[in-house]
Copies of this chain bind each other. A is one copy, B any other.
């Protein structure tokens, strides 16, 4: 259950003040499935806080990143994208429609475990992106 109080706890445990703006940004990132850009978070947050500034969004995301609560994904195109899902997963990036979907699968954990330590490299976090064509786009194109 994701609730207001849970966001407050997360912020406090990470040593930050639980301001209304931070709670809103954390909430947006936690509930989003679309790996939003900072600009998208900013526009969403403005619905509740019309005076919030982009600087606050950037500073808050920076804070959440340092606390390990948000992952930053830099893609082609310059804009950084963010997600609050820090569990191992695959980002499926459709080159046709641009959508990014998370894929959770036990085999991802096993795959990572295989390489952790074996080569002398200790894995602490990871990022796996698959670029290709999603199901919907393939169906629309007649599986060409």
Q: What is the count of identical protomers in the complex?
A: 2
Q: Residues of B contacting A105 with CB < 8 Å? A: 115
If A74-B75, A114-B107 touch, does A131 touch B120 (CB 8 Å cutoff)?
no
Interface residue stretch chosen among A7-15, A21-29, A52-60, A132-140: A132-140
Majority SS at the chain A contact face: strand
Q: How far is the CA of A125 from the CA of B130 in the complex (A)?
A: 6
Residues of B within 8 A of A121 (CB): 92, 94, 101, 103, 130, 132-135
| Complex interface residues of chain A between 85 and 100 (CB less than 8 A to chain B) | 90, 92, 94-95
8 nearest CB pairs, A to B: A74-B74, A120-B135, A124-B132, A127-B129, A123-B132, A125-B131, A123-B130, A122-B132
